[in-house]
Amino acid sequence: MTVRLYQFMISHYCERSRWNLDYKQVDFQLGNWVPGPHIRKAKKLGFKRSSVPILDYHGERFQGSDNIARFLEEKIPQNPLWPEDPKLAAEVDEWTQVADKEIGIPLRAILYGELIKYRGDVIDLWCQDNHFGNRLLCHLLFPTLKKKLTYFYKLEQRPQHEQTLAAGLERFDAAYSEREFLVGDRFTFADLSFAALSAPLALPPQHQVNWTEPPPELVDFFKSHESRPAIKRTLALYRDYRGR
């Protein structure tokens, strides 16, 4: 049976699982979904929630990049991403939660808040490596998708998202200014999580998404963070650990 990762190509949470699988040297295929029709597809795989990524590992299925990571760590002990020391492993979990709450969620909201003003650009990102039918469907569903994104991601709360993101980046700035890795003396899931979730801000060349030019409203936003130690560390982590 084939190992397959069902995903949105644009999603930085899906990038976390792509990187995780590559780091574990798993041979897998991508199932690229687009927003809207993915709801039915997730239910067909046996999940009540429609969130991605979803991993089908030889018939075993897991939803969410965190759950996927836990499964892979247990299933494939080679190239470990958690230390054996329970205390250090707990620190990895703590940093991962910070990356989720203070980087991944607010950055997604800020970027989508501007990208959805540019219908063609955001559909290009959704439909990378997808066939024409999905692109047409995204155009037809776009008004509904825009409303759903605005509601579920709280896109209108940009000041709060920017405040949360800035606080999170400052936390990672401080950590990476003092040491090479967040936990211990080697690359862990904490580093992978931060790098993957901050990648849409850092735009590392090793990333698999074909990024469009940022809209004018985001140019200053990107420039305001590019000199941060944490963003520079994201670029270095991609260079050193994101081979595929």
At residue 111 the predicted structure's pLDDT band, cuts being 50, 70 and 90, is very high
Task: Please report, as a single letter, which amino acid is at residue 20.
Answer: N
Output DSSP code: residue 242.
-
Average pLDDT over residues 188-197: 99
**Burial annotation 118-132 (CB, 10 A radius, 16+ → b, else e):** eeebbbbbbbbebee
At residue 244 the predicted structure's pLDDT band, cuts being 50, 70 and 90, is low
Cα–Cα distance measured from residue 61 to residue 140, given in angstroms and rounded to the nearest whole number: 31
> Residue written as tokens 């990187």?
19
Average pLDDT over residues 21-45: 95
Contact in structure between 135 and 127 (CB atoms under 8 Å): yes
Q: What is the pLDDT of residues 48-103, one digit of tens each?
A: 999 999 999 999 999 999 999 999 999 999 999 999 999 999 999 999 999 999 99
Two tokens, residue 103 = 């980087």
Q: What is the pLDDT of residues 142-186, one digit of tens each?
A: 999 999 999 999 999 999 999 999 999 999 999 999 999 999 999
Contact in structure between 201 and 222 (CB atoms under 8 Å): yes
Distances, alpha carbon 23 to alpha carbons 72, 187, 201, in Å: 10, 11, 22
**Long-range pairs for 69-74: beta carbons < 8 A, 24 or more residues apart:** 69/16, 69/17, 69/20, 69/189, 72/20, 72/21, 72/24, 72/26, 73/189
Cα–Cα distance measured from residue 91 to residue 82, given in angstroms and rounded to the nearest whole number: 10
Q: What structural domains and CATH numbers belong to the chain?
A: 3-75 (3.40.30.10), 86-241 (1.20.1050.10)
- In which order are the strands placed within the sheet that holds 54-57? 29-32, 3-7, 54-57, 60-63
Crossing angle (nearest 10°) for helices 216-225 and 105-115:
150
Contact in structure between 8 and 14 (CB atoms under 8 Å): yes
Q: What is the pLDDT of residues 196-220, one digit of tens each?
A: 999 999 999 999 998 888 889 899 9
Task: Please report, as a single letter, which amino acid is at residue 129.
Answer: D
